A and B are shown apart, each in its own frame.
Chain A
Amino acid sequence: EDKVVQSPLSLVVHEGDTVTLNCSYEVTNFRSLLWYKQEKKAPTFLFMLTSSGIEKKSGRLSSILDKKELFSILNITATQTGDSAVYLCAVIHGSGNTGKLIFGQGTTLQVKP
């Protein structure tokens, strides 16, 4: 069965801390892995990772994929209260033109002042 598992499920830190969120997957015909940030409503896209070992970076956020060990991490350095959100990991998989997206359960991050 195809699945995406995130850990931890929830995390509470203080401003300035660095956090690492984990996402592991088992799918057939892996294509790419995505990270989203969801505050109140629509998830907003953060990163798409298709190649192993290449770090993607955007400000204080960075992410990397390990296709051999089937996982990805999302790092947030110098956390701020505005980073409080649910972080969703998703994997696109499938063959031909039928790419499907499977989401993990999400990690709820709370950053305290």
Chain B
Amino acid sequence: QVQLVQSGAEVKKPGASVKVSCKASGYTFTTYSIHWVRQAPGQRLEWMGWINAGDGRTKHSQKLQARVTISRDTSATTAYMELNSLTSEDTAVYYCARRGSGHGVDVWGQGTTVTVSS
């Protein structure tokens, strides 16, 4: 079945970087884009950016574009999100998700909890 499986929870110190992986299976990886969305505790969903898994083109939110890098490895059918210069405000659950053939995000990873604490 179509699924996205993310890497495990991370605990980082302020100023550090984190890289979250998202392994896709059950469909042709290069046909769809992968989006990254985060949700701080008790807060709303926040769109971070996306990657065209076919040609590798990316786009990031204006808020995060200086600190976030989204990449993919087509041979591993895996997308990655790296966030630098972490602060406590980056503590959140990070989701990868596939944008389907319509324009809705139809498959979500299970989420990766990133905790930033000194």
User: A and B bound?
Assistant: no
Interface residues in chain B, defined as those with a beta carbon under 8 Å from any beta carbon in chain A: none
Interface residues in chain A, defined as those with a beta carbon under 8 Å from any beta carbon in chain B: none
